[in-house]
């Protein structure tokens, strides 16, 4: 068999041999390389798709179970006359449209209004499905509704991208969803696990802020000051601490910004410091339960409450101190870990230290425990 | 020059190629199953939690731990101290991850 032409090339090829197998060998090699190039890509897409499908299956199971847990809690606490499943299912499509920010003037006011309406909506649905639950149980059910909604939303989100990728065979869609899955699943699991705490009224990681406030106000009379917030006056080494937290032990967050602004105006003659205590998401590598001290308003709301605290501090010229207790995202949402429960006492000491340093005797400090007060009483 | 490469000009090496292809396929399959197996383990993990309620006496250093009961909350007063009959309150409630392998969830 002759493969090359005549001339100079010929001298490189030995004469008399049969090179069929060598050619077959080379062709196979080249074919395989090309297969690897093109099929490899296909195979990658297939792997991504399979990961997304598997995650969707798992999320579907979680969303279903989440709704089941919620329905059971409603039945147990609210003793409704009819089955709440339908109402729960209907609520899963609930949505909030964010205010337009192209014209940012007054956007926080509008956002606050929307958040108020959202909160009202949650209250309405819980009142409807669980008429016999008491106020704390209703607050817990509201939080449970939010958690079940979140799991369901994540499920629908992942399913959407999985199906979209399947339909369009788009590598970028599938790659994005596949590579985001570890984070998404962590989030979904955090919300799913929070259902156990929310339905049973156990304190969660986010409750460390209110728990610090509760420990400070323990033994002193506290009264409700509106917006689901309670406050107590606590004398401390010649100073007066005005301690603020959401009304426990139901799963409430309240409107701490509003309350702080109100109290700051009330005590403005002697007010020296506003200290906010909150849970904060730690960075990977940091320890759970680490207490850190900083400056600013430690509050993780969408904006309005934080704005009010900063505004009143600026207006009255008082310092803003922040104390945070670090934890992972999933720890903030699930039953409080031991490290966090123990960190509360350390955070109390840090708050006292700040008061001693920054507030002269006879002065007033407002101390706000920010966060969901589920499972934490009012002292 | 080409004669030195161990490819025979008259021997039958078709079987070698077949083996080569098969080997590549086997390696591919093993690799992909291993890869997907490790990924699955990352995806399916949910841990159970045990919740502990810690009771403390207001007067002395008496401390007691028990399982969480629905209705417990931090700073709730619960009966009296076994040592000095002082008031007992809940000082903390915390969750402990269950020991053992993470329990698979879903399918
Ligand atoms: Zn005692």
Q: Are residues A193 and A212 in the same domain?
A: no
Q: Are residues A95 and A129 in the same domain?
A: yes
Q: Are residues A356 and A235 in the same domain?
A: yes
> Is residue A321 in a domain?
yes
Stretch (H or E) spanning A240? strand A239-246
Q: Are residues A228 and A160 in the same domain?
A: no
* Last residue in a domain, options A181, A200, A219: A200
* pLDDT, position A153: 93
Distance separating alpha carbons of residues B58 and B89, to the nearest angstrom:
7
pLDDT at A133 over 70: yes
Q: Are residues A220 and A143 in the same domain?
A: no
- Searching chain A, which residue's CA lies closest to the CA of residue B51? A335
Contact A156, A62 (CB under 8 A): no
* pLDDT, position A156: 93
Return residues 30-89 of B near A (CB < 8 Å): 32, 35-36, 39-40, 42-46, 49, 51-52, 54, 68, 70-76
Neighbours of B2 (CB within 10 A): 12
pLDDT higher at A98 or A10: A98
- The DSSP output letter for A357 is H
Q: Are residues A191 and A267 in the same domain?
A: no
Low-confidence ranges of chain B (pLDDT < 50): 1, 5, 41-44, 106-107
Q: What is the pTM of this model?
A: 0.81
> Is residue A164 in a domain?
yes
Q: What angle do CA B97, A373, A290 make, to 5 degrees?
A: 55
Q: Are residues A171 and A230 in the same domain?
A: no
CATH code for the domain of A282: 3.40.50.1470
Q: What angle do CA A280, A281, A285 make, to 5 degrees?
A: 125
Say what percent of chain A tops pLDDT 90.
24
Residue A76, φ and ψ in degrees, nearest 5? -70, -45
Q: Are residues A264 and A348 in the same domain?
A: yes
Give residue A62's domain range.
44-200
> Is residue A304 in a domain?
yes
* Last residue in a domain, options A200, A227, A250: A200
Q: Are residues A178 and A231 in the same domain?
A: no
> Is residue A8 in a domain?
no
Q: Are residues A169 and A48 in the same domain?
A: yes
All residues of chain B having their beta carbon less than 8 Å from the beta carbon of residue A201 are 70-73
* Last residue in a domain, options A147, A178, A200: A200
pLDDT, tens digit (0-9, with 9 covering 90-100), for A236-257? 888 989 999 998 788 888 888 8
Q: Are residues A146 and A291 in the same domain?
A: no
Contact A147, A259 (CB under 8 A): no
All residues of chain B having their beta carbon less than 8 Å from the beta carbon of residue A22 are 2, 5, 7
pLDDT higher at B36 or A226: A226
* pLDDT, position A348: 93
- Domain-by-domain residue ranges, chain B? 1-44, 47-97
All residues of chain B having their beta carbon less than 8 Å from the beta carbon of residue A61 are 105-107
Tokens encoding A286? 């940091």
The SS3 call for residue A233 is strand
* pLDDT, position B18: 76
Confidence band of A121 (pLDDT split at 50, 70, 90): confident
Instruction: Say which residues have a Cβ less than 8 Å from residue A287's Cβ, sequence separation at least 6.
Output: A326, A339
pLDDT, tens digit (0-9, with 9 covering 90-100), for B92-104? 899 888 776 655 5
State the residue for tokens 């159970």. B48
> Which ipTM value was assigned to this complex?
0.77
């Amino acid at each position: 068999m002759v493969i090359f032409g005549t001339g100079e090339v010929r001298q490189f090829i030995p004469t008399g041999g049969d090179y069929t197998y060598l050619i077959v060998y080379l062709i196979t090699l080249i074919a395989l390389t090309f297969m690897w190039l093109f099929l490899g890509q296909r195979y990658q897409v297939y792997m991504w798709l399979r990961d997304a499908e598997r995650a969707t299956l798992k999320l579907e199971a979680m969303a279903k179970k989440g709704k089941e847990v919620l329905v059971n809690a409603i039945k147990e606490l609210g003793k409704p006359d009819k089955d709440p499943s339908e109402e729960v299912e209907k609520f899963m499509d609930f949505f909030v449209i964010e205010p337009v920010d192209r014209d940012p003037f007054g956007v926080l006011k509008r956002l606050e209004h929307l958040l108020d309406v959202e909160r009202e909506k949650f209250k309405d649905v819980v009142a409807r499905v669980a008429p016999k639950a008491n106020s704390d149980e209703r607050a817990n059910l509201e939080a449970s509704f939010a958690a079940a909604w979140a799991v369901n939303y994540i499920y629908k989100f992942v399913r959407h991208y999985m199906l979209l990728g399947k339909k369009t065979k788009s590598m970028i869609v599938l790659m994005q969803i596949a590579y985001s899955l570890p984070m998404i699943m962590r989030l979904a699991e955090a919300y799913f696990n929070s259902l156990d705490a929310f339905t049973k009224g156990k304190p969660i990681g986010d409750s460390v802020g209110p728990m610090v406030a509760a420990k400070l106000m323990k033994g002193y009379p506290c009264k409700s000051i509106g917006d689901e917030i309670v406050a107590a006056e606590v004398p401390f080494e010649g100073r007066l601490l005005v301690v603020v937290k959401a009304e426990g032990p139901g799963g409430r967050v309240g409107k701490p910004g509003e309350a702080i602004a109100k109290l700051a105006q009330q005590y403005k003659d002697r007010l020296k410091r506003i200290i906010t205590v909150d849970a904060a998401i730690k960075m990977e590598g940091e320890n759970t339960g680490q207490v850190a001290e900083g400056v600013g308003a430690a509050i993780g709301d969408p904006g309005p409450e934080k704005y009010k605290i900063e505004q009143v501090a600026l207006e009255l010229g008082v310092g803003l101190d922040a104390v945070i207790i670090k934890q992972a995202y999933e720890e903030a949402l699930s039953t409080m870990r031991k490290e966090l429960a123990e960190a509360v006492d350390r955070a109390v000491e840090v708050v006292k230290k700040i008061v001693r340093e920054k507030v002269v005797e006879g002065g007033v400090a407002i101390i706000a425990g920010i966060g969901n007060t589920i499972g934490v009483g009012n002292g | 020059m080409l004669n030195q490469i161990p490819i025979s000009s008259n021997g039958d090496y078709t079987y070698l190629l077949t083996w080569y292809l098969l080997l590549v396929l086997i390696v591919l399959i093993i690799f992909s199953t291993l890869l997907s197996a490790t990924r699955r383990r990352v995806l399916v993990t949910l841990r159970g939690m045990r919740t502990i309620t810690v009771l403390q006496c207001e007067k002395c250093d008496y401390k007691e731990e028990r399982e969480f009961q629905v209705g417990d909350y931090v700073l709730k007063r619960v009966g009296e101290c076994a040592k000095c009959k002082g008031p007992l309150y809940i000082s903390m409630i915390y969750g402990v991850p269950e020991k053992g392998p993470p329990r698979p969830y879903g399918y």
